[in-house]
Amino acid sequence: MNALAREFRFFSLLRFAVPTIVMMLVLSFYTVVDGIFVSRFVGSNALSAVNIAMPLVNIVSGIGVMFATGGSAIVAKEMGENQEDRARGHFTLIVISSIVVGILFALVGFLFTGPIVRALGATELLYEDCYIYSYICLLFAPANIVKCLFDYFMVTAGKPQIGLANSVLGGVINIVLDYVFIVPMGMGVAGAAIATGLGQLLPAIVGILYFVFGTNILHFQKPTFEGKMLAHCCVNGASEMVTNLSMGITTFLFNMAMLHYLGENGVAAITIVLYAQFLMVSIFLGFTSGVAPVISFHYGAQNWEQERRIIRYCYTFLIACSIITLALSILFAPFLMGIFSPEGTEVYDLALHGFYLFVGSFLPVGINIFASGMFTAFSNGLISGLLSLLRTLVFVVLGIVLLPSFLGLDGVWLTIPAAELGAIIFSLFFTWKYRNRYGYGAGAERLKKEKEDLQSLQEA
């Protein structure tokens, strides 16, 4: 029996999502560890250089997430419709296409890294580290994209535990190599980039071997090229890609603002806050990724009662978790900032002040992330993309342009909380508007019966 097909209650849904939540926490943790090693053992300027390169890394990750979320929604829906052979063919085609795109990114990195990092705003002080980090990360782009793909498709295959184990393996490799390359070997940001790349490469290889030799219902088979399906996959996953691309754009804008107000130390401070934010919101990202295939499957199976229950459980979890996350963020803010920079330094003081202004974003962010992911699960890339665009780009750009004019530097820190508050209005509106169309509203069963009665009359 397909693991997605069973009846879910609150705790069984949470148990199913827990491996993906932990997987995302592991991912965020070893991303944060990268920043800690760079900040502590290379220097705050090196940390600033890594953040200057982040928009480029976000673009590559965004492509991977686009294929992963858009593709897993299509494949899970087809599995729910009992079109398993079609689902396997589409899965294989998506993996091959993502590898090709990753190779193209590696070629771009090989040829054009210098002009790219100049365009990203690297100063003369930061250029060399920024160039090295970007160059190596782009060479590992195929591994980055494929690893991201398997993180999602392991859940779609009903094997989130294997996905978790694979991700933990990559994280342990990354952390160990961070220490080896940066501390005893003194390789600086190059060591951090290579450690990250190898931490992505091994899970990607393990994922390929699993889907080649595994006996799971989802595995590789000979694909048939379907441009329409790939286009639908990209459009459907566009919201998550928009999120990553927007993160790249907004990171660039934050870097420019901080360079204007505070110089390189300001960039280091915003980098620390963004690392901490990624760690705190990773539970929402993991939960949404974990439940999305379940939502897609039951939508494809038209099991409206189960769908309605699942969505209700999700919102219950998100509200409770948002309150807890806010409380923990306030309580442990000095500890989180102190991991990256010693207490009493200028970077520490700047980051701590900014983080206290930043934490308001943790109340609405979970619902915003889930709403976008939910519409991706329903294969409604238009609404999902709109929600992501508003949350991660439109409101952020408006905030970073307008708020500093009134509040100065504090306006930069308050941009993300303001953007999340603006976005939640749209998230809740579209969730309510489409409640019956996607089966989680009280009128979904009635609409289904009316459609069946109309079809019966037409057949008669």
With residue 85 as reference, give the H or E element that holds it: helix 84-119
Determine the pLDDT at residue 140: 94
Helices (H), 341-408: 346-358, 365-377, 381-389, 395-407
The answer to whether residue 26 sits within a structural domain is yes
**What mean pLDDT is predicted for residues 342-348?**
86
**What mean pLDDT is predicted for residues 101-121?**
88
Determine the pLDDT at residue 313: 92
CA–CA separation, 35 and 271 (whole Å): 9
The answer to whether residue 71 sits within a structural domain is yes
Count, residues in the chain: 460
pLDDT single digits (tens) 129-161: 889 999 999 999 999 999 988 887 887 777 778
The answer to whether residue 143 sits within a structural domain is yes
For 48, 122, 127, 222, 264, the CA distances from 52, given in Å and listed in that order, are 6, 6, 9, 41, 10
**What mean pLDDT is predicted for residues 394-406?**
90
Determine the pLDDT at residue 250: 78
Token pair of 37, please? 């090693």
Q: Sign of dihedral through CA atoms 116, 120, 125, 126? A: negative
Q: Which residue has the higher pLDDT, 127 or 235?
A: 127
Determine the distance from the C-alpha atom of residue 112 to the mean position of all C-alpha atoms in its chain, rounded to a whole number.
26
> Using alpha carbons only, how large is the chain's radius of gyration in Å?
22
Token pair of 167, please? 């991700």
Per the structure, how many domains does the chain have?
Answer: 1
Nearest to 375 by CA among 430, 443, 298: 430
> What single-letter DSSP state applies at residue 218?
S
3-state SS assignment for residue 356: helix
Determine the pLDDT at residue 143: 92
Domain that holds residue 312: 3-446
CA–CA separation, 84 and 338 (whole Å): 50
Kindly state the percentage of the chain with pLDDT values over 70.
93
Q: How confident is the model at residue 342 (pLDDT cuts 50, 70, 90)?
A: confident
Determine the pLDDT at residue 107: 93
Kindly state the percentage of the chain with pLDDT values over 90.
24
Token pair of 123, please? 């100063």
DSSP labels, 18-51:
HHHHHHHHHHHHHHHHHHHHHHHHT-HHHHHHHH
CA–CA separation, 375 and 380 (whole Å): 5
Question: Quick check: 314 pLDDT over 90?
Answer: yes
H helix and E strand count, the chain: 18, 0
pLDDT single digits (tens) 16-66: 888 888 878 877 777 777 778 887 888 777 877 887 888 788 888 888 888
Q: How confident is the model at residue 447 (pLDDT cuts 50, 70, 90)?
A: low
CA–CA separation, 162 and 158 (whole Å): 9
pLDDT single digits (tens) 249-307: 777 788 788 888 888 788 888 888 888 888 888 899 889 988 888 888 888 888 888 88
The answer to whether residue 451 sits within a structural domain is no
Determine the pLDDT at residue 239: 65
Average pLDDT along the chain: 84
CA–CA separation, 428 and 364 (whole Å): 11
The answer to whether residue 459 sits within a structural domain is no
The answer to whether residue 460 sits within a structural domain is no
Amino acid at 20: T
Determine the pLDDT at residue 220: 80
Nearest to 80 by CA among 287, 358, 251, 297: 297
The answer to whether residue 217 sits within a structural domain is yes
DSSP labels, 120-169:
TT--TTTHHHHHHHHHHHHHTHHHHHHHHHHHHHHHHTT-HHHHHHHHHH
Angle between helices 264-300 and 44-80 (to 10 degrees): 10
The answer to whether residue 191 sits within a structural domain is yes
pTM as predicted: 0.72
Place of tokens 């509106």: 429
- Range with the poorest average pLDDT among 53-67, 378-392, 434-448: 434-448
For 152, 320, 325, 426, the CA distances from 423, given in Å and listed in that order, are 25, 19, 19, 5
How many CA within 13 A on the CB side of residue 27? 23
Say how many C-beta atoms besides its own lie within 10 A of residue 223's C-beta: 17
- Range with the poorest average pLDDT among 168-182, 217-231, 335-349: 217-231
Determine the pLDDT at residue 454: 52
> What single-letter DSSP state applies at residue 3?
G
Dihedral pair phi/psi, residue 282, rounded to 5°: -60, -30
Determine the pLDDT at residue 73: 78
